[in-house]
Amino acid sequence: MNWKGIAFEERAVDESVMKTVILPHVGWPVVPVLQTPDGRIIQDTADIIAEIETAFPEPSVMPDGPIQRFASLLMQVFGDQWLVLPAMHYRWNYNEDWIFTEFGRTTAIDAPANEHYAIGEKIGERFRAMVPMLGISETTIPGIESSYEAFLAEFSAHLEQFEYVFGDRPSLADFTLIGPLYAHLYRDPESRKTMERVAPRVARWVERTISGQDHQGDLIDNDTIPNTLFPIFKRHSAEHMPVLEATNRLFAQWSETASSGDEVPRGLGTAPFHVGGCEGQTMARSFSLFRLQTALDSLAEMSNNDRAKAEAFLGSIDAKQLMSFELNHRLVRKNCKVCLA
């Protein structure tokens, strides 16, 4: 909204907002949530971006070229669904005291400062409970940190040549990455130290992107994906693709006895995963399939010529299996929940 120059009011989620807006309309405590002027409630960054893009199409966050659009949506799956591992790990294993105090400060604005920690601890416990469900454990933490620092180095190398993901102005790919990289990994003080140490260029990219002021540059010509992004996409393919495939198999099993309109469980079971040389089990999240479906839709809508280009791109990042990846049933979002179409 800053980048598009849209006037809006930002409200802290205090107890009143949680009870009167978020819980009645969304059903569980979560941010971000957008309330439109006509009173509709939209939850989740990607859905909010899509809503704003429809209402305010210029300047557009979506690249014009079909290959860059497809790659942006793949980056959205990575930023939205896989970078959550380092985001949650660093928050709860390095920044716990800070985030408890921050939760208390922002939700109980009128409470004395010495009460913020205790208030925030009650709020934060339900979020901290997600850590082991995601597969973040003593066994996998070394791999999560190794992979995250490698990603920072790869993104930093890309930023030596470009200001943003696809050139010299931000696009959807930047705004999807900014979620975990700003809201958790830059804002939280200890993880910011890691970012500054490993990849100060990424920290400067975070600052540029959240400023919402850069409209003047151009995206890379000829619908090209620069080679500097290939290591990032390859990392995502190697780590997340096996989890997506396992989740899809569990989804197919669950959907055998489900009907149109049924709500899909947020967790469909557990899936093995490997990251940075470590192995563990992570929750097989149906929402990851919903986000991937958007990228697959973009692929399906391409002309034969563009599909050939997309296939070459996927071959370059070791993700050619996406050309034939199919969900057992189509997914939709209804009342902020993932359901069978």
pLDDT score for 142: 98
Residue 75: name the closest of 179, 201, 212, 223 by CA. Answer: 179
pLDDT score for 217: 87
Task: Give the DSSP letter string of 130-184.
Answer: HHHHTT-STTTHHHHHHHHHHHHHHHHHHHTT-SBTTBSS--HHHHHHHIIIIII
- Distance separating alpha carbons of residues 61 and 4, to the nearest angstrom: 9
- Chain segment 6-44, per-residue pLDDT in tens: 999 998 888 788 889 999 989 888 888 999 999 899 999
Whether 116 has a pLDDT exceeding 80, the answer reads yes
- Chain segment 145-197, per-residue pLDDT in tens: 999 999 999 999 999 999 999 999 999 999 999 999 999 999 999 999 999 99
Give the DSSP H/E element, type plus range, for residue 326.
none
pLDDT score for 13: 83
3-state class of 187 per DSSP?
coil
- Chain segment 209-226, per-residue pLDDT in tens: 998 877 678 999 999 999
Average pLDDT of every residue of the chain: 94
What average pLDDT score do residues 97-123 get?
85
Q: Which pairs count as long-range contacts for 333-337, CB under 8 Å and 24+ apart, including other chains?
A: 333/47, 333/290, 334/261, 335/27, 336/25, 336/26, 336/27, 336/41, 336/43, 336/44, 337/27, 337/263, 337/264
- Chain segment 138-158, per-residue pLDDT in tens: 999 999 999 999 999 999 999
Residue 14: name the closest of 113, 108, 103 by CA. Answer: 108
Residue 282: strand pairing partners: 271
Q: Determine phi and psi for 283, rounding to 5 degrees.
A: -65, 130
Domain boundaries, the chain: 1-60, 66-340
1-60 topology per CATH: Glutaredoxin (3.40.30)
- Chain segment 121-135, per-residue pLDDT in tens: 888 888 888 899 999
Q: Tokens for 83? A: 């970078």
- Distance separating alpha carbons of residues 125 and 129, to the nearest angstrom: 6
Q: Determine phi and psi for 65, rounding to 5 degrees.
A: -75, 140
- Distance separating alpha carbons of residues 122 and 100, to the nearest angstrom: 8
Q: Tokens for 293? A: 């479906």
Q: Tokens for 84? A: 């959550």
pLDDT score for 123: 80
Residue 169 near residue 63 (C-beta atoms within 8 A): no
- Chain segment 47-102, per-residue pLDDT in tens: 999 999 999 999 899 999 999 999 999 999 999 999 999 999 999 999 999 898 88
pLDDT score for 108: 80
What average pLDDT score do residues 302-331 get?
97
pLDDT score for 14: 80
- Chain segment 230-277, per-residue pLDDT in tens: 999 999 999 999 999 999 999 999 999 999 999 999 999 999 999 999
Tell me yes or no: is domain 66-340 CATH 3.40.630.40.
Answer: no
- Distance separating alpha carbons of residues 251 and 245, to the nearest angstrom: 10
pLDDT score for 222: 94
CA 234 from chain centre, in angstroms, equals 17
